[in-house]
Amino acid sequence: MKEILKVTNIAKDGILNNISFTMEAGEMVAIMGPSGSGKSTLLYNVSGMDHADGGEVFIGDSEITKLSEEDKSKVRLTKMGFVFQQMNVLSNLNLIDNIMFPALYAKGKKHEKTVRQQALALMEEFEIADLADHMTNQVSGGQLQRACIVRSMMMEPEILFADEPTGALNQKAAGTVIDAFLKINKKGTSIMMVTHDSKVAIKCDRVLYILDGQLRGELLLGKYQKEEEEERQKKINTWLSSFGW
C-alpha cells in the first residue's frame, strides 16, 4: 500500500514531543486524547498550517516541512481538505457560493460554470442540494457542516484533515456528518480526524491516543462495518479506560 502521510519526530514548542506515525492511502484515522494534549496542534503541524520546530512530514511525495510558505499553500489548496468544529463560512454568501469560493480562487473565474456544476453534484450526494441558495444562518448545524465537507472536497484532495468536526453538533447531526466522511473515505480519500467522541472514533480504521504531546497508544479497528458496531464500541471503551479516559 502507498503511504499518504509520513510523520517523523514532529516537534512544536514543547506542545508536541517527537510524534511519529504513518497513514496508508485510503485510511481513516482518529486522533483522541484529553483537552490540551496537543491534538489540534498536531493536525496544524502535519498539514503545514503551522510551522513545526523539528521533524519531517511527507504528504505523498511532498515534504511539507521543507516547502516555502508559497508552495505549502499550493499543496494545501490542491492536495488537502480541511474541516473544523467552528465552521468558517462567509455569512454574506449563500451556501453554494461558500462551497465554490476556494475552488474558484484556485481555478479562476473562467471555470465558474464547471465549478458550480461540480458543487451541485457534490451537494446532491450529501443531500444539501436543495439548500444551495440558502444563507448560512438558514440551515442546520449538520447541513452547514456537510456544506463545509463538500467545500473541502471541491479540489479532490488526497487527504482530509478534520478537527472535532462533530464537536458542535447534536447526535443526529453528528451521525449525518460522520456518514459523509465514511462515504468520502470509501471513494478513496484518506482522512485524519481529531475527535473526543468514541462513537465517532469507532467509525475509523485506527485510533491514535495523544497525551502531553506524545503518542501513547494505537488501536487497530479495521474498516467500519455496521454489524461490528457494538464490538468496536466495547474495544474502544476498554482501550480508552486503560488511559484513564
Ligand X SMILES: Nc1ncnc2c1ncn2[C@@H]1O[C@H](COP(=O)(O)OP(=O)(O)O)[C@@H](O)[C@H]1O
Residue 143 lies near Mg ion (rule: CB under 5 A): no
Q: Please, what is the minimum distance in Å from the beta carbon of residue 39 to Mg ion?
A: 5
Residue 84 or 181: the one with the smaller Cβ distance to Mg ion is 84
Toward Mg ion, which CB reaches closer, 40 or 198?
40
Q: What is the DSSP string of 23-62?
A: EETT-EEEEE--TTSSHHHHHHHHTTSS--SEEEEEETTE
DSSP code, position 225: -
Stretch near Mg ion under the rule CB under 5 A, chosen from 2-10, 32-40, 144-152, 177-185: 32-40
Size of the site for ligand X (CB under 6 A): 9
- Cβ-based nearer residue to ligand X, 42 or 154: 42
Q: Which does 41 bind (CB under 5 to 8 A by kind): Mg ion, ligand X, none?
A: ligand X
Question: Least CB distance from residue 208 to ligand X, whole Å?
Answer: 12
Q: What phi, psi does 189 have (nearest 5°)?
A: -75, 130
Contact between 207 and 238 (Cβ < 8 Å): no
End-to-end CA distance of the chain: 33
Read out DSSP for 182-233? HHHHHTT-EEEEE-S-HHHHTTSSEEEEEETTEEEEEEE--S--GGGHHHHH
Residue 38 partner contact from ligand X, Mg ion, none using kind-dependent CB cut-offs of 5 to 8 Å: ligand X
40 binds Mg ion (CB under 5 A): yes
C-alpha cell at 110: 473562467
Q: Which stretches of the chain bind Mg ion, using CB under 5 A?
A: 40
Q: Which stretches of the chain bind ligand X, using CB under 6 A?
A: 15, 33, 35-41
